[in-house]
Amino acid sequence: MGAWGTLACCIVGEVIATSLLTRSEGLARPAFALISFVILGGCFWGLSQVLTRIPMGVAYAIWAGVGIALICVAGWIFFRQPLTTVQIVCVALVIVGSIGLSLSTNPI
């Protein structure tokens, strides 16, 4: 799998892990927390591999931007958290910023 595919898997894993942390109810349900920590460890290992091929600022901007968007959608769908029009616009701006940073950076 290439660097971009690995980054995508890491982002999805981070969203799953964050959702599991929500389910852990402040670590009161330790099984969810433990699974979350294991997934996060794998995500950070994967990110360390990605950073050998994608510039750090680009990789992290995409990780953050896409992660924010996906976690907002996951919260809305699975946890019935509200998602207002203003929040959607703000998330879109984060994604546009991530794309702009990626397009304006020379590859390694």
Q: Give pLDDT tens digits for 27-47.
A: 999 999 999 999 999 999 999
Domain count, the chain: 1
State the residue for tokens 């894993």. Answer: 13
Binning pLDDT at 50, 70 and 90, where does residue 108 land?
Answer: low
Q: What is the mean pLDDT of residues 79-107?
A: 88
Binning pLDDT at 50, 70 and 90, where does residue 25 land?
Answer: very high
Q: Give pLDDT tens digits for 46-72.
A: 999 999 999 998 898 889 889 999 999
In whole angstroms, give the CA distance from residue 40 to residue 24: 15
In whole angstroms, give the CA distance from residue 40 to residue 44: 6
Residue at 70 is within a domain: yes
Residue at 108 is within a domain: no
Residue at 96 is within a domain: yes
Residue at 82 is within a domain: yes
Residue at 75 is within a domain: yes
Domain that holds residue 34: 3-103
